[in-house]
Structure 1
Amino acid sequence: TECPVDAIFADTDVPEEEEHWIDRNADESIDAEIAEGESPVLAD
């Protein structure tokens, strides 16, 4: 799924009403694998 470009913020520019997602993302991604190498999706 693609992310709308207006949904992407630098961590210092997150609107106040969206800040709760920073902590949730940290919690949800703690055990996620780190993607390394080339991505065929990004190659386009």
Structure 2
Amino acid sequence: MRIPRIHHPERLIVGSQIALSDDAANHVGRVLRMTAGQHLQLFDGQ
């Protein structure tokens, strides 16, 4: 199974915590139907 990639508009720093936007959180939970403990990959476009 492929690991979903989610774009985050702000710069990402390894080891930091981020909050997903409402749209991204909705996409992860309702569209991709992911649950706690599943992996995803965040990217900031850099």
Give TM class, smaller chain.
under 0.3
Q: Name the structure with the higher strand share.
A: 2
TM-score (norm 2): 0.25
Q: Whose Rg is larger?
A: 1
Answer 1 or 2: higher relative contact order, Cα 8 Å, separation at least 6. Answer: 2
TM-score by length of 1: 0.25
Query: Structure 1 or 2: larger helix share?
Result: 1
